[in-house]
Amino acid sequence: MTYTHTTEKSSMTLGNGRFAAYFTRLMGVPLTLLSRMRHAAWMWAIIWLGARLTAQNAYLQLIHTVADVVGVNYPVILDSIDVYISADGGSTWTLAVPDFKFRQATPFTLLPANNNQLKAGTAPGNSSGPGDILLQYPIPPLASNTYYVAAIAGTIDFSTSQVDVDIYYFSPARNATTGSGANDVDLLLFHGSPPGGAGVLLLGL
């Protein structure tokens, strides 16, 4: 069986320039259909690229559980803290969470995935910029398209200036429950009170 492949040459004007465009009729397919197929291909390419870009991000929620800073406003304001994020090892910083207080939680924040130069920096709640950062913490590389919960926890002894605060990461987390219904919830248990000792949790279902 023999198929005939013919090519037509036409020209069109684009802006102030003129170019020659070759349109191909394959087995009698109208040019209008080929044009629609071309636009559909572009749409799929855009969707694919958008999915690839989305997949390069991770999502991080911060929870403040350091009780020792409550009410501390001298010599620096620690009753609320400013959280900065750096994606280049600390060369540049972006204010991610201003005035972060004890027992507060942030929404899930978009961060670049698979980045080994991520850092978090904490500064007093009235900070004027990254120059006020007091402590820096490396953020481990985060998997793409994955949700994490991070608890800032520990103790601060202001009499000795001893700071024992760290960030604890949990994954996978979810921004919303899916599956059996909207009435389901995910429960993450984290003991953020170091002097409290061991505890027992009772759940009534």
Q: pLDDT digits over 19-43, tens only?
A: 434 444 445 555 565 566 566 665 6
In 27-66, which ranges are E strands? 57-64
What phi and psi, each to the nearest 5 degrees, are found at residue 194? Answer: -55, -40
SS3 of 146, please? coil
For the residues 188-196, what does the mean pLDDT come to? 74
pLDDT at 180 over 90: no
0.95 exceeded by pTM: no
For the residues 162-178, what does the mean pLDDT come to? 85
Which of the pair, 78 or 16, is modelled with greater confidence?
78
Identity of the amino acid at 157: D
pLDDT at 141 over 90: yes
Which of the pair, 182 or 117, is modelled with greater confidence?
117
The lowest-confidence range among 3-17, 63-77, 85-99, 191-205 is: 3-17
What is the structure's pLDDT at 185?
A: 73
Long-range contact pairs involving 160-168 (C-beta distance under 8 Å, separation at least 24)? 163/135, 165/66, 165/135, 166/137, 167/120, 167/137, 167/139
- Tokens representing residue 80 in the block: 């609320």
Closest CA to 87 of 111, 107, 70: 111
Chain center to CA of 78: 26
Domain 58-180 has CATH 2.60.40: yes
Residue with tokens 């572009």: 42
Residue 87 burial (10 A CB sphere; 0-12, 13-18, 19+): middle
SS3 of 194, please? helix
Instruction: Report the percentage of the chain scoring pLDDT > 70.
Output: 66
What is the structure's pLDDT at 182?
A: 67
What is the structure's pLDDT at 3?
A: 42
CA–CA distance, 43 with 146 (Å, rounded to integer): 26
What is the structure's pLDDT at 41?
A: 60
The domain ranges of the chain are: 5-55, 58-180
Percent of the chain as helix, strand, coil, to the nearest 5 = 15, 40, 45
For the residues 79-96, what does the mean pLDDT come to? 96
The lowest-confidence range among 51-60, 73-82, 117-126 is: 51-60
What is the structure's pLDDT at 31?
A: 55
Rounded to a whole number, what is the largest CA-CA distance in the chain?
92
